[in-house]
Structure 1
Amino acid sequence: MTAAALPALGLPRRRPSALPGFGPTLGFALAYLSLIVLIPLSVLVWRASGLGVSGLVAVAASPRVRAALETSFYLSLAAAALNAVAGLVVAWVLTRYRFPGRAILDAMVDLPFALPTAVAGIALAAIYATNGWVGALVNDLFGIRIAFTPSGIFVALVFIGLPFVVRTVQPVLADLDREVEEASATLGASRAQTILRVILPALVPAVLTGFALAFARAVGEYGSVIFIAGNMPFVSEIAPLLIIVQLEEFNYVGATAIAVVMLAISFTSLLAINLVQAWCLRRYGHV
């Protein structure tokens, strides 16, 4: 039986592929993901399972843990939301305009990827402290302290999360056909209508992907935050730092319990973002 006869019999036709085959590649993917992701996370859940569901709820409900979780997740969401907007603007400038120093600016976007997190934290703390040139200016003009407060955590999370949005949106913008914008203008649409009804719908899935990546990185960020956060319980203490504190006190069960709670909240949040992204792809995938 030839491959051309398969559709006539109602059988799916196998698409040609450069890889050796579905079976070997699927097996490799499952084995690799199991070794790198599933098995470590399963061990983490197993170590914390001794507490039971009620024990995990009790750990999450304790005042210090709850305050640290709220600080980490609320500030991560806020930083990812700001990066979604700012990253879209930066990607637009880098993609649609040509100007002197564009290549340097494009390379600077990747600096948070290249810098060690400790170096980034020290640099941010020096700049945004009350005796730093930015921190002193903001403190003198508005009476606001940035370093060693939750605002410092927010600044650090924005710093490390921006490249995720820019590098996710930039290739989509580069592939977006300008003829669609010209056709919209020809049909009488204003610039605002073109942006809202033509450009943004095509960019929403990429922006959501960048938002999810920035949020995931911000939730687990440790090195660049501890230098600028102040690390005060109930004020500027993040959940990853609280896990380190539990480990230093040899409370391994408590550390794994906090980690499992973070894992559950992170998984739920990312699942919700992915569902919204899938809905946007179904609705705007034709754009």
Structure 2
Amino acid sequence: MNIADVMGLNRKQRSILPGFGPALGFTVLYMSLILLIPLAMLFLRAATLSWPQFWQTVLAPRVVASYRLSLLASFGGALINGIFGLLLAWVLTRYRFPGRKLVDAIVDLPFAMPTAVAGIALTTIYSANGWIGRFLEPLGIKVAYTPLGVMVALTFIGLPFVVRTVQPVLQDLEKEVEEAAVSLGANRWQTFTRVIFPALWPSWLTGLALAFARALGEYGSVVFISGNMPMRTEIAPLVIVTKLEQFDYAGAAAVAVVILGISFVLLLLINLLQWWSGKKQLAA
């Protein structure tokens, strides 16, 4: 068989599944209309500013303070969800108890609940005279209208991302592997750190990244509990909305481009970390 015959055979093998061309075309069209074109217009709108105007807009003290609060609160909320989301996924997967299905359904509540409703509920609960806030106030812990309240709201909306990415991996992880580790003399901590968590690491990191990205762009649930005080509890999405209300569309686009760039860089780093971790596991 010569080279031409091999190439012809490969072409025939690729055409076993029909519809590649139309499917690819519809995919590209959909991605362009929903994602690529809107993002391109965002960059084009920001490009109407000159470089001095752009840097003056995105590096204004009020805007920088909003970056800091959004990033720190989003990271803090994602880290909390990474710990307790993993614990919740473990409980739902490994144990059977009355009301387990109800708890499992409640996990998805932040997906279905309107963010404004979530913000009002959290503000009501954590205010000085709220159900929980009244007990925290004598201890000197103020949640509503503080950066802590912002992190609480971002933790609330990010929890399902960690649970739902870790839970399927835990369900597929066979208990015999854990039992084998115990039979070989490993204690509970060694079993978790050397057997269970390495298998969960890629999905856990994915959930962490999704929770962080979701929190970074959150607006509705934060705007009520934060108090929206400039330089203190004002988040970056609120700065964007404020500029839009002032008809400063180019300034809003410039701030949005910075937030988008930060999100892209952090997600890229996390994906590289996942790739490196997976490559290291294959090498082992």
Q: Place the TM-score, normalised by the shorter chain, in its bin.
A: over 0.9
Per the alignment, residue 253 of structure 2 pairs with: 256
2:80 to 73, 79, 82: 82
Distance 1:183 1:67 in 2: 51
How do 1:119-130 residues align onto structure 2 when only pairs under 5 Å count?
Answer: 119-130=117-128
> Could you tell me which residue of structure 1 aligns to residue 63 of structure 2?
65
| Aligned residue identity for 1:77 | F
Answer whether contact 2:125 2:132 (CA < 8 A) is retained.
yes
Counterpart in the other structure of 1:229: 226
Q: 1:244 is paired with a residue of what secondary structure?
A: helix
SS at match of 1:131: coil
Q: Give me the whole-angstrom Cα distance separating, in 2, the residues matched to 1:100 and 1:65.
A: 48
Structure 1 residue 49 displacement after superposition: 0.7
Is 1:197 equivalent to 2:194 in the alignment? yes
In the aligned structure 1, how far is the partner of 2:15 from the partner of 2:175? 32
Shift of 1:16: 9.1
For residue 284 of structure 1, report the CA deviation from its aligned partner: 3.0
CA contact (8 A) 2:54 2:251 kept: no
Query: Match for residue 104 of structure 2?
Result: 106
Query: 1:166 aligned to 2:163?
Result: yes
What is the rounded CA distance, in whole Å, between the counterparts of 2:55 and 2:201 in structure 1?
35
Q: Work out whether residues 56 and 261 of structure 1, in 8 Å CA contact, stay in contact via their aligned partners in 2.
A: no
Structure 1 residues 73, 144: closer, same or farther in 2, change over 3 A?
same
C-alpha separation in 2, matches of 1:11 and 1:197: 43
Q: Could you tell which deviates more after superposition, 27-36 or 101-110? A: 27-36
Provide the rounded CA distance (Å) in 2 between the counterparts of 1:74 and 1:139: 23
Aligned to 2:273: 276
| Alpha-carbon separation, structure 2, partners of 1:182 and 1:214 | 32
Report the AA paired with residue 186 of structure 1. Answer: S
Opposite residue 127 of structure 2, the aligned amino acid is A
- Cα distance in 2, alignment partners of residues 206 and 20 from structure 1: 33
Structure 2 distance, partners of 1:267, 1:13, is 39
Q: What CA distance in whole angstroms lies between the structure 1 residues aligned with 2:249 and 2:48?
A: 12
Q: TM-score normalised to the size of structure 2?
A: 0.92
- Per the TM alignment, residue 236 of structure 1 is displaced from its structure 2 partner at its CA by 0.1
Deviations 1:225-262 (A, max 9, x none): 00100100000000111111111111111111111111
What amino acid maps onto 1:276 in structure 2? L
Matched, 1:241 2:242: no
3-state SS of the aligned residue for 2:48?
helix
Structure 1 residues 185 and 152, CA gap change in structure 2 (3 angstroms)? same
By how many angstroms is 1:20 displaced?
Answer: 3.2
Offset of residue 166 of structure 1: 0.3
Q: Supply the AA of the counterpart residue of 1:284.
A: Q
Unaligned residue ranges in structure 1 (runs of 5+): none
Identity of aligned pairs, percent?
57
TM-score w.r.t. the length of structure 1 is: 0.91
Corresponding residue number in structure 2 for 1:26: 24
Q: Which residue of 2 aligns with 1:208?
A: 205
What is the count of residue pairs matched by the alignment?
281
Which residue identity lines up with residue 254 of structure 1 in the other structure? G
Unaligned runs of 5+ in 2: none
